[in-house]
Amino acid sequence: MDSKNALSIWLVIGISLLVNGVLIVGAGLYELVYPPVVKVVLYEYHASIWWGAILAVVGAVYTYRFAPGRQRRELAAAAKVAAP
């Protein structure tokens, strides 16, 4: 396998965190609109919305940071700066 064309595992993790965060926020918002009959102990804090938002933000940062073409652009920019 050529390392130039390999995807970073952190990109895959970022996408996974982003998708799971969006799904958890969606479930939390649904639960906010249609409250359950039997509520959990700390229901009023809406932990699923907070936790899903944190996961989505972390996933978005990882996805942006480890995007496939980003490292090549950074290396090319560094090479231009380092060139005499």
Per-residue pLDDT of the chain (84 residues; tens, 9 = 90+): 556 677 889 999 999 999 999 999 999 999 999 999 999 999 999 999 999 999 999 999 999 999 887 766 776 777 777 666
Q: How far apart are CA 38 and CA 32, in angstroms?
A: 13
What angle do helix axes 9-33 and 47-65 make, rounded to 10 degrees?
150
CB 65 within 8 A of CB 13: no
Query: pTM for the whole thing?
Result: 0.79
Tokens of 51: 């936790």
Q: How far apart are CA 35 and CA 46, in angstroms?
A: 11
